[in-house]
Amino acid sequence: MAEGEARASEDAMELDSPNDRSSRTAEAAPQPRKDSISIQNHNPAKPPFPPHNAPRVWFMTALTAPIAIGLARLVLAHGDYVVGGVIPSEFAGERGEELRAFLDEVRVQGVGGGRKRSGSGVGSPESSEKEGGGSTESSGDGKKTGAKRWQDRVRVVAMDGRIIGQCQAAVAEAVEAFGGVDILLGCTSECVIGSVEELAQSNRTQSLMREQFETNFFSNVNVIKAALPSMRRKSNGHIIMLTGITGHLGTPGLGAYCASQWAIEGYCDSLAYEIAPFNIKMTIVQPNLEINVLSNKITSAPPLSSYSPDTNPAPLCRDIIGGLLDKLCDSVGYHPHSHEPKGTSQLQTEEQSSAEHDAQNLDNLNEPTTGNVPDGADHDAEDDNMDDASEDDQAAHLSSFLSSPHTESIFPPLPTTLRQALIAETCFAIAAIGGHDNPPARHIVGFEGIAAVREKLKTVSEELEDFIDVSCAADLTAGGDTETY
C-alpha cells in the first residue's frame, strides 16, 4: 500500500497449514492480518472508466452497503444511472443512515455531467419528467435521454434478495425506468463468526449457516437470475460479484462465511461459460477480508471454551475482528457513545415495532424516483438515553460484544469518513472494470490481498509437486492398461 496510510495494527497473524508441513510455514498459508488494516487518507484518483458510447445502467443489489453508496457516487458523477435494492427495515433504521444522507445529496445535486444515451447498443433509459426537473432530450427511438440531475438518474426499490419475486419486480422496474440493466453488482453480504463446532451448539446457531447462505449466496443468485433475461435479449451485460480473498483462503472462525464465498464464486465461474455466447461478461472482485466484513452486518455465535485463545492456538477471527474494530475506532478518537451495538433480540424487536412504518416505506420506495423516498425516516435517537461510561469501557465494548454468550448481530459503527476510506480502493476498482469490453474473470483489490492469494497458490503448487508421484502412480493408458511411473 502507498505511504501516508493510517494503520491500526499489532503483530501480523500467521495461519499454519492444516498439516503443518515443515517445507511450508505460515508465510505460505492464508494470512489475514491481526488487528491490521490499511486505510488511505484520501480517495484514489478518479477511476479510469472504460470507454463507452452512452451512459450505463448499474443495478446494485444492496444500496445500503457502504461500497454500493461509494460506487453510486462515482458513477453518477460520471453520468451513469443507478438502481439500488433496499430492505425497508434497514433503510429506516441505523443501517440506512448513510444512505439517507446520500439521497439528500442526490436531491440537491445539479448537473451530473451525463452524456446523451443513444437509442442503439445497450438501450436507452427513460427519465421521469418532474415539476422543476432537469432537462432531458429525446433519442431516435423516442426515449428520454441526457438527464442531468442526479435525482433523475437514481431509482431506489424495495427488495429483499432472498425473495425471488421481489428481485424480478426490482429488475422489471429498472427495465421500465431506464431501458435495461447494463452492469449488475452483487454486493449483498454479511458475516457469521464462529468455529464449525460453535455453529452446532443449538438450533439457533445451526440456523446461522443457512442464513449465511440465504444472504451471501441465494440473494445474489436470485438477482442474477432475474437480470439475465433482459441482458440476454440485448446481447450485452456485465455481472460483477463482490466476494473477497476468502473465496481463495480458508479462515479459522469464518467457516460459514468462507463456504458461502466459495459457493457464489463456483456458481459465477460456471455461469461465465454459459452466458459468454450472449456477450454477457462475468467478473469476481475480491477485496481484502476486512473490507466486506467491516462494512456489513456481523453475527457472532456464542464462543466455546475449547476454542478460547488459552486452549486453542488457531488464530480465530472472533478476537481478531473484535480487536480490529476497537483499534479502528480508537485510532480516530471514535467511541460508540450513541452507536451502542444492538443484539439480535433488539434488532428483531425494532423490526417488529416498525412493521407498519416499513409497509409504508415499501410503497414509497417502489416509486421510480428518489424524491419519493421517505425523508428523515424514523430511527432510534439513542444519544439521550445512553449512560455515561469510561472510555476504557467503551473501547473494550465491541470486542466483548462479539464474545457474548448469546448470538448477537451488529453493523460495525465505524464513522463515515473511516468507512469511505476503507472502501475507496474497491469502489475505484469496480468503477474501472464495470462495462469493460474485456474485463478480468477475477480481480483482487490491494497489495495485501494479492500477496495472500499468491502465497496460497504457491502452497497449492508445492503440494502438487510433492505428491505428483502418488497422483500418477497408477494411470490408465489409452489401451486400458495400467502404466506405472
Residue 143 belongs to a domain: yes
Q: Are 57 and 182 in contact (CB under 8 A)?
A: yes
- For residue 318, tell me if it sits in a domain: no
The answer to whether the beta carbons of residues 129 and 136 sit under 8 Å apart is yes
Its domain, for residue 440, covers: 38-305+338-388+406-483
pLDDT digits (tens, 9 = 90+) for 408-430: 888 888 887 888 888 999 999 99
Instruction: Specify the residue for cell string 480516530.
Output: 332
Structural domains of the chain, count: 1
* Chain mean position to CA 141: 36
> What pLDDT shows up at residue 112?
42
Compute the C-alpha angle 406/260/98, nearest 5°.
70
Give domain status of residue 153, yes or no.
Answer: yes
Is 23 a domain residue?
no
Residue 11 within any structural domain of the chain: no
Q: Which of 112-116, 248-252, 297-301 has the lowest mean pLDDT?
A: 112-116
Going 360 to 363 to 364 to 366, the CA torsion angle's sign is: positive
3-state secondary structure 359-421: HHHHHHHCCCCHHHCCCCCCCCCHHHCCCCCCHHHHHCHHHHHCCCCCCEEECCCCCHHHHHH
pTM of the model: 0.74
Residue 77 falls inside a structural domain: yes
Position 482 scores a pLDDT of 57
The rounded percent of the chain whose pLDDT value lies above 90 is 41
**How many residues are given for the chain?**
485
**Residue range 354-408, pLDDT digits in tens:** 444 444 444 444 443 443 344 443 434 333 333 334 434 443 456 777 888 889 8
Specify the CATH number for the domain of residue 176.
3.40.50.720
> Shortest CA distance to 287 belongs to which of 279, 296, 278?
296
Complete edge-to-edge strand list for the sheet that includes strand 297-300: 190-193, 297-300, 408-410
Cα distance between the two ends of the chain? 47
27 is a domain residue = no
Within a domain: 320? no
